[in-house]
Amino acid sequence: MTTAQTTKPKRQRTLSGKVVSNKMDKTIVVLVERRVKHPVLGKIIMRSAKYKAHDETNQYNEGDTVEIAEGRPISRSKSWTATRLIEAARVI
């Protein structure tokens, strides 16, 4: 057996969030919100971060909820890849 077969694959970090922009080619911007407890007040507050994610087929639209996975850097600001659609945006 070689060392590649004996080592376990590294667990990939995944996040889920809402697509806020799909204006770039093969790139979406995903807003990920998380709830944290304030260290002094003890109140639950929302923290948010935006991640640029690779979308090879340009299939995700604004308002969609998607899951993104971390990978190797694709460009200077893009090291996440959109893996699946959780919920499509509701059209009014």
> Given this model, what pLDDT does residue 10 score?
72
In the predicted structure, residue 1 carries a pLDDT above the cut 60: no
Task: Tell me the domains of the chain and their CATH numbers.
Answer: 10-87 (2.40.50.140)
CA dist list (Å): 23 to 38, 45, 61: 35, 30, 9
Question: How many CA atoms lie within 13 Å of 28's alpha carbon, on the beta-carbon side?
Answer: 30
Q: What is the reported pTM?
A: 0.84
Mean pLDDT within 7-29: 90
Kindly report the average pLDDT of the chain as a whole number: 92
Give the pLDDT band (50/70/90) at residue 78: very high
